[in-house]
Structure 1
Amino acid sequence: MQNSIRSLLEIAHKKHPNKIALIEKENKLTYQELLTKVNQLANYFNQLGLEDGARVGIYSNKSIEQVITILALLSTPYIIVPITRFLKPEQVEYIINDAGIECIVTDKTKISTIEKINFQGQMITFEPLQDALVSLKEIYKCFNSNFDLELDTDLPAIITYGFGSDGSQKGIVMTQKNLLDGTRIVSNYLDLNEDDIISGLLSFNLDYGLNQIFCTLHAGATLALHKFILPSNFFGHLLKDKVTVLALMPVHISKMFDEDSHRLPMSSQLDHVRVITSSGGNITKEMVKKVDDYFKPAKFYSMHGLIEALRSTYLDPSQIHIRPTSIGKAIPEVEVYIINEEGNECQAYEVGELIHRGCCIYQGYWNSEKSTKERFKNISILEKVITIENPDEIVIATGDYVYKDEEGYIYFVDRKDDMIKTSGYRVSPKEIEDVVYSNFKEIKQCAVFGVPNAQIEEEIILVYSAKDKIPLNEITFELKKHLATYMMPTTIEFRESLPLKASHHEVVDKAVLKKEFLI
């Protein structure tokens, strides 16, 4: 019975004990070996004497040991708090204090950060590092491989931290049921099966990456871990591991084609890739074309997720060339609505807020009743749109501004928090950024945001990075061809590089840039 993430592992093990479950370079684990190590580590965690619901941090690089630790903790009544490896010591310390972390599992690359902040709880290391610390290697020698424990699937299982638009860190709470629901739905519409080799390219600190682990177990497939360094070694991973399912963020699509084409494999060598997914950003027509040129047989799923729910919509691959910039329609077991400020359902091409109803809704924000109330709303906000049967039902007011076309396909405009108000107009930074990317191929990254201006509410700032600075008059001349006058940036600045978010190390941190212009 699939009633916890652990049950997915047990079922996969029962069906395929000798099948390879995990690959990391030359290291491989069968389902039998994986279950044994997970059970040994879960037994160790259970004898630590922590209370049910205690928070345990995982602060490490991606590895087989990290996956084992995630699955072991999901076998216990404790709550996992993944800590992104790019965070600075003060940011790590904030999460430890905010979540009340009592134990941290770490590796040799991150232990020095924990020591700097003088963490007083228990520490466990992947490899033997200090005599005073217990390592996974020692645990495997000493603890039993039999394990059994009933879990309440409605209790919190994971708290993932990300950054809000104001730069503050917030934790979102997920239950075992949330994880299972997302796994089942995604696995079904992607049609994953036991013959698949799923790329573990994404970070396991957020739900999109974690979902790759759980979908692998659900299908009884194989997960091949990889860290993106250069396009050549990324394609090497696809070829060597014979990847069939590839989960990406849009930035990966841009980066994978950064090298000269003669350094990349021929598209015919990649015919084994049958499914590609993208989430965590917006897809462009150019990205779709590049993927199509290199992965000809692959079905490309563009997906839209939320901080408060794993997934809201996906675009069927049959539509990717017809409407490549659409985020599609609602995933199975979810309903989505677009409402205006009066609470009425928006007509075709009318921009409004996306409301998520149904499956995959997380529990709320950790230690933040205010943030939870802002996003998790009573069903009554849809009273002008649907007949309400359960007055206690909760939906998500996503904060995403979107519109639908006459066939019901949805298009993302921008985050409600990011929209710029200038000269009486609402301006989408994304719309300006899309124009920049479409017309300046040399621009690698750009960020558009507003800063206060008493005369026009906000003025528009554009900051970009490229190999070389582009003459200002060239940029303004081109932008004027595509943008209304009120959408034109008043300030355009070149930087050799732009600050990136610690939680999404490929996404520009606009909060940091904005602070520079407010000084």
Structure 2
Amino acid sequence: MKSLEMELSNLEPGRTVIDGVEVRPVDHLLLRGDPARPALDGRSGAQSYAELEEALGRLAGWLAGFGLERGARVASWIAKGPVAALMPLAAPRAGLVHVPINPLLRHGQVAHILADSGARLLIGTAARLDTLTEAEVPGDCRLLREEEAACAMSGGEGIGPSDAGPHDLAAILYTSGSTGKPKGVMLSHANLWLGAVSVAAYLGLTPGDRTLCVLPFSFDYGQNQLLSTWFAGGCVYPLDYLTARDVMKSVERRDITTLAGVPPLWVQLTELNWPPEVAGRLRRITNSGGALTRPLVAKLRSLFPNADLYPMYGLTEAFRSTYLPPALVDSHPDSMGSAIPHAEILVVRADGSVTADDEPGELVHCGPLVAQGYWRDAARTAERFRPAPPASSYGGTAVWSGDKVRRDADGLLYFIGRDDAMIKSAGNRISPTEIEEAAAAVPGVSEAVAMGVKDERLGQAVLLLIRSADPQAEARVEAHLKAELPNFMHPRAIVGREDFPRTPNGKIDRVALAKEYDQ
């Protein structure tokens, strides 16, 4: 059995080797880069690694100045920019735990995250903070405007690199479950560091690469755009885009070499008229958050002839699990690939034994990328984080994904389906329960069922079924959801029904509904 961790006597105190890699606190990432090379570029101008490290120290010093206890949570609800880019490093350097909040979330969901995480600070844009009522902000949570943090980065006293241990908590990323409200996935310094090491390695990132960061930093996939590029010594360009054309323009103006996205973005980008010399600048494109279709793969390969295509599969509880090497994309376009570095992926039966080739089973992720569980949720942690199967070379705790896959004779994995009821739309994992609860809050709505239905652009779109005697219920529910839920959770259609099919024990028969609406 592998040893996940071994201390080496010739390393400095606090330096650890895990799975053969020297792991440092995540806030040390910028120290790896050439001080003179660009690390961050954007509307505020370019900053070198040396300049960004200095700004990081100042931002961390500002956070530390609030006198919070070690391990206190600090949340951020801001647009992409220098503050958002540095918060994943600054909070841990100050001995705090970062809780990034998706800018698309509305006040009710933000209130849940603040209360659940016990955040003591919330850094947000003025417009977003103004949407929160006094009742939605915990009494011990202080609200700070983004410009205050930005000012701190340009002046004031800084602090040096942290001495955090590899298993100290660095971040809590909130992700939707199949039932209930979003849950916080606890990530250690080692989780973040090894995730950066792994992705930088298999993507072949170099100091000469420039990554256009279009995904939200509140997602593990989006945050890793930063961390893996910095580990490799490259430069990141954060972009909050409004249209796909904004992405194309940034590739041209910023000499972008690397772009990560989700299927809906690729659909939009392939519909644009790309000048050949601009499309030819991309050297790699990566996809997660949903499978690429064969036609879309063909379009991407044709449109970006100089770019290696990396289809990937991941889950926040273990960051990333598999990738398909570019050389296999044409011959195996439907495959999820195989395990990324520092991940062990097993396909097992219900009894934990490993399946035979081409036999369906559950994907189980083992190794040091496995997160520490769900924040303050022992019950749900016990469901997903369980002892690794006997065949694991790592042992310890593994993530049992609930996803059904098969492994072929060459070791390549293929996705079959999900055991849970999650809706995956435009790269977002959406809890049906959260939509149903919001719909049921509308007076006159007796029951509601949310489900995912096939959609060419989104992967899945949300279909909401409601039971109500009110003829105006559908319109009222639509208005309520638009006010309370982010755009990506809005149903494509709301359908009124007189009744729902039932199981023998009286529950709504969701399987029958899925067949009826041909998921």
Q: Tell whether the structures are fold-level matches, with TM greater than 0.5.
A: yes
Name the structure 1 match of 2:242: 229
Name the structure 1 match of 2:294: 285
Name the structure 1 match of 2:265: 252
Name the structure 1 match of 2:18: none
Name the structure 1 match of 2:228: 215
Name the structure 2 match of 1:88: 106
The Cα of 1:359 is off from its aligned counterpart by 2.7
- Which is bigger in relative contact order (C-alpha 8 A, separation at least 6)? 2
- The 2-side partners of 1:516 and 1:119 are apart by 41
Does 1:347 find its partner at 2:365? no
Superimposed CA distance per residue, residues 379-398 of structure 1 (whole angstroms, 9 cap, x where no aligned partner)? 3xx23xx2x777x6111211
The Cα of 1:113 is off from its aligned counterpart by 2.4
Q: Secondary structure at the match of 2:88?
A: helix
Moved over 4 A (4+): 459-467, 502-519
Cα pair distance change 1:211/1:140, threshold 3 Å: closer
CA contact (8 A) 1:231 1:257 kept: no
Superimposed CA distance per residue, residues 249-274 of structure 1 (whole angstroms, 9 cap, x where no aligned partner)? 1121122234xx5xx22334322211
Name the structure 2 match of 1:19: 37
Q: Secondary structure at the match of 1:337?
A: strand
Does 1:363 find its partner at 2:372? yes
- The 1-side partners of 2:333 and 2:453 are apart by 26
Name the structure 1 match of 2:463: none
Cα pair distance change 1:146/1:91, threshold 3 Å: closer
The Cα of 1:153 is off from its aligned counterpart by 2.2
- The 2-side partners of 1:361 and 1:183 are apart by 14
- The 2-side partners of 1:67 and 1:73 are apart by 11
Does 1:403 find its partner at 2:424? no
- The 1-side partners of 2:418 and 2:74 are apart by 32
Q: Secondary structure at the match of 1:21?
A: strand
Q: Secondary structure at the match of 1:24?
A: coil
Name the structure 2 match of 1:126: 146
CA contact (8 A) 2:129 2:143 kept: no
Paired residue for 1:418, among 411, 417, 421? 421
Paired residue for 2:126, among 104, 108, 111? 108
Paired residue for 2:179, among 166, 173, 181? 166
TM-score (norm 1): 0.77
The Cα of 1:154 is off from its aligned counterpart by 0.8
CA contact (8 A) 2:280 2:304 kept: yes
Name the structure 1 match of 2:218: 205
- The 2-side partners of 1:362 and 1:515 are apart by 41
- The 2-side partners of 1:67 and 1:460 are apart by 34
Does 1:326 find its partner at 2:338? no
Superimposed CA distance per residue, residues 462-489 of structure 1 (whole angstroms, 9 cap, x where no aligned partner)? 757799xxxxxxxxxxxxxxxxxxxxxx
CA contact (8 A) 1:175 1:363 kept: yes
CA contact (8 A) 1:356 1:395 kept: yes
Paired residue for 1:190, among 199, 203, 208? 203
Superimposed CA distance per residue, residues 172-223 of structure 1 (whole angstroms, 9 cap, x where no aligned partner)? 0000000001110110111100000011111000111111111121111110
CA contact (8 A) 1:230 1:256 kept: no
Name the structure 2 match of 1:481: none
The Cα of 1:516 is off from its aligned counterpart by 11
The Cα of 1:411 is off from its aligned counterpart by 0.8
CA contact (8 A) 2:55 2:154 kept: no
Q: Secondary structure at the match of 1:326?
A: coil
Name the structure 2 match of 1:483: none
The Cα of 1:405 is off from its aligned counterpart by 2.3
Superimposed CA distance per residue, residues 483-507 of structure 1 (whole angstroms, 9 cap, x where no aligned partner)? xxxxxxxxxx9xx99x89x999657
CA contact (8 A) 1:60 1:109 kept: no
- The 2-side partners of 1:515 and 1:157 are apart by 47
- Identical counterparts, % of pairs: 28
Name the structure 2 match of 1:378: 387
Q: Secondary structure at the match of 1:364?
A: coil
- The 2-side partners of 1:162 and 1:389 are apart by 28
Superimposed CA distance per residue, residues 295-320 of structure 1 (whole angstroms, 9 cap, x where no aligned partner)? 11111011111121111111111111
- The 1-side partners of 2:125 and 2:362 are apart by 42
CA contact (8 A) 2:213 2:239 kept: yes
Amino acid aligned to 1:288: V
Amino acid aligned to 2:118: G
- The 1-side partners of 2:302 and 2:361 are apart by 35
Q: Secondary structure at the match of 2:29?
A: helix
Does 1:300 find its partner at 2:309? yes
The Cα of 1:30 is off from its aligned counterpart by 2.2
Paired residue for 1:3, among 16, 24, 32? 24
Cα pair distance change 1:343/1:55, threshold 3 Å: same
The Cα of 1:136 is off from its aligned counterpart by 2.5
Which 5+ residue runs of structure 2 have no aligned equivalent?
1-14, 16-22, 437-448, 458-473, 501-507, 509-519
After superposition, residues 430-509 of structure 1 pair within 5 angstroms as 463=453, 506=488
Which 5+ residue runs of structure 1 have no aligned equivalent?
128-134, 420-428, 434-444, 452-458, 468-492
Amino acid aligned to 2:276: S
Does 1:75 find its partner at 2:93? yes
Paired residue for 1:65, among 66, 70, 83? 83
Q: Secondary structure at the match of 1:68?
A: helix
Amino acid aligned to 2:31: E
- The 2-side partners of 1:366 and 1:68 are apart by 23
Cα pair distance change 1:461/1:48, threshold 3 Å: closer
Superimposed CA distance per residue, residues 410-459 of structure 1 (whole angstroms, 9 cap, x where no aligned partner)? 1111221139xxxxxxxxx99xx9xxxxxxxxxxx9x9x999xxxxxxx9
Cα pair distance change 1:517/1:192, threshold 3 Å: farther
Name the structure 2 match of 1:471: none
Amino acid aligned to 1:124: L
- The 2-side partners of 1:105 and 1:460 are apart by 33
- The 1-side partners of 2:257 and 2:498 are apart by 44
Q: CA RMSD in A?
A: 3.7
Does 1:311 find its partner at 2:324? no
- The 1-side partners of 2:497 and 2:90 are apart by 41
| Number of residue-to-residue matches in the alignment | 443
Amino acid aligned to 1:269: V
Name the structure 2 match of 1:145: 158
